[in-house]
Chains A and B, each alone.
Chain A
Amino acid sequence: MGVSFVKVYKANCNKLFLDNMVNENLVKNVVKEPYKYGFVTDIETEKIAKGLNEDIIRLISQKKEEPKYLLDFRLKAFRKWQKMNEPDWAGLGYKQIDYQDIIYYSAPKQKEKISSLDEVDPKLLETFDKLGIPLTEQKKLTNVAVDAVFDSVSIATTFREELAEHGVIFCSISEAVKNHSDLIEQYLGTVVPASDNYFAALNSAVFSDGSFVYIPKGVTCPMDLSSYFRINSGDSGQFERTLIIAEESSSVSYLEGCTAPMFDTNTLHAAVVELIALDDATIKYSTVQNWYAGDEEGIGGIFNFVTKRGKCLGKRSKISWSQVETGSAITWKYPSCLLLGEESVGEFYSVALTNNLQQADTGTKMIHIGPKTKSTIVSKGISAGNSINSYRGLVKMGTKATGSRNYSQCDSMLIGDQASANTFPYIKSQQPNSEIEHEASTCRISEDQLFYLQSRGIEFEEAVSMMVSGFCRDVFNQLPMEFAAEADKLLALKLEGSVG
């Protein structure tokens, strides 16, 4: 018995030695995964000429039959944008964007007005089916209403009637401009003003479509709402705008997914999301971002410059952002909370995975203005290949934020010795009666843990995947059910790759 035990032990030691020798390459292989949503839908689209000037903006506004106040809003934003400089503080290295070489409006050609889903071009429905987004209501599997945005315009919104029964408005922002103009006029640009930053100003000038949600007083939205963004053309930018208003004591969970085809050119995506939560309202906003990230040499991919901000206007209101960022060549995104209402709560849960030459500069801003406000930040960054993954966050306690609290945790995991993980937490306090805690750590896939899992008969790739999944658990727990499963699968796919 003794002898055989020694033999087995030795054999295991050899295996471990060999494993360690190959581990490094294996880990590098596991993070490679071909992009599954890279197909192009061959559909007739209506595009306007390239370039950006006041005439183009007037044309977009005219095409969308917008009221004058909106055209003025666009023109004002455009004039401000012209005077602004593209921000460079994030130190992202990308070739200069030629803003005159972009098509600012592109829409699939379809009948003037769609009265039901049957009239939507079957090719479009097919595209969304391929992406795993059933738009036809009879195909409903989960209790989710979907607004699908294809290039510049919203294609279809499902379950509208059922939502309408509860008084919930869920439609494209163009429709909202026509049917709920008062709400748009009252709230558009109040959270992210047109002059907020370079990309927000650009979006305000040229935004084409997006989603609009209004939850009336006291209503808990009966189902999760979801919008799905798809960029199809290679030369048009996508500039959508989302506005969610949650009235007193209402609540809503909103999901957002994004994919794009593979082109060897870079496509610009500059979106603005505005959330407004009144007294006792709750908004949960979850994103799984999987835009095309470019190939291994860093050719192509989406430039994702997004401004997302929520305003906790009411007492005890709550805004929770959760995001899984796996795509885009460049990600520049800081979902933020303005905590104005007393006892309002802001949350940010994020997983960002970068590989190859991807660059992600993401984080959050928690601005505590009202008293007794609370915020939690949990950010997990995983960098592999030659990528750069940065957390950049701001926590600010204003002079009136008495009794406020913040807790931030940023963890980074490095896979391979070429990737970089950075943490830039900006912390500012002007209120002594408040507490801020921040902690950050960095780690790699531990060989001890890998060995342990492998010694229990778990395959290498599965073990890596389990460890990454465990690393991200705090964030996945915050995602809605459907998304948690999707996110886990997405990371596993990215990580399992050719080895799996």
Chain B
Amino acid sequence: MSSPLRVGPLRNARLLDAEPDGTPGPADLSGPEIIEIAEAAGIRGRGGAGFPLAVKLRSVASAPGPVRYVIANGEEGEPASVKDRFLLRERPDLVLRGLELAARAVSADRAYVYVSDPSAARRLAAKRGDTPADIPVDIPIGVVAVAPGYVAGEETAVVRAVDGGPALPTVKPPRPWQEGVCGAPTLVSNVETLAQLALAVRLGPEAYRGMGTPESTGTFLATLSGAGRAPGLYEVPYGIPLRELVTAHMGTAAGVTGLLAGGFAGGLLPASALDLPLTHAALARAGSTLGCGAFVLLAGDCPVGVAAEVAAFFDRENARQCGPCVTGTSGVAGVLARLTVRSATVEDVARLERWGAALAGRGNCATPDAVTALVGSLFRHHRDLVDAHVGTECERCAATDVTADTRFRVSWEGS
């Protein structure tokens, strides 16, 4: 179901209001200067892992050439996130400016924009005709469109798809910065990260750090959904309490009983997490992740039913490649589904906990790790409730079909 998207800044819009015109471009700065700005600004990746951009740029720049590639990754596999689609549809110039700067930083020979959103692909294809006028360096930019999928935005899947293969993750090492497109060093960077690079160049590192915290600098785009409300996209300074963001979205945080954090990657958090500051470190300490900045708010939903629904999603959307992930995720989803209809046993619950833990690090991508986070958080915060589902029918679960395509998917037709 598609809903209107509320878009708004909290406190101060920087990225959402940034004009690419007037932003210094690749002709104004050397590669090392661009990397220095990324480092001084403290930009961390906005795709999920929060990896320092400058380290990635430097790795690609110093990898033995002669050929290098850069890819703007706009394949937003997280069903609860819309920020990348929004940027590509509504702020494509800023993303392209960031891509040009990154290409200059690593001395790339060719750049790609990798997308699955047809509307974004059309927008970019139309733009390609008029960008050369303000691209002072001759970097050809190609658009690669793939079918959407949870794993299609994983960095090795991106490389494989650009190479003409299926968008499926490969074993690491090598990572793309070592061997990427055609075996050459390749920067794969989230589209918001690249837009943030353009913003940092425009503002200068000091002003860029003027918002956020020393560990998580600047602002980020957050997608809020769930709790029966239309979804919202907000530009948020790192470090503000989650409660402030939720209150801006809903008017009050009073009805929020818990949430999914980091899209589907960070598992469940209880309502007490509303007091967490929005930083990578704080979410990690809470056993979760800030991930791509997507939060699904729960208002009275049964956490067991929510976990069952998310696990069913992973069971459908995993790459069907890695044995432990395919088998383990299916087992986890099966037990959780049975818990929602009172047909799971005490032994099933023990298996659920063991399988959840055993899946960590057991695939070529982080899908099994997301299942680990989900199951671990369910037991950490709701063990009694899990046990209660063995013998008692849950009315909240009975009212939901947990195997249907997830109601936590944020649809947005946009403009």
Bound together: no
- Which residues of A approach B to under 8 Å, CB–CB? none
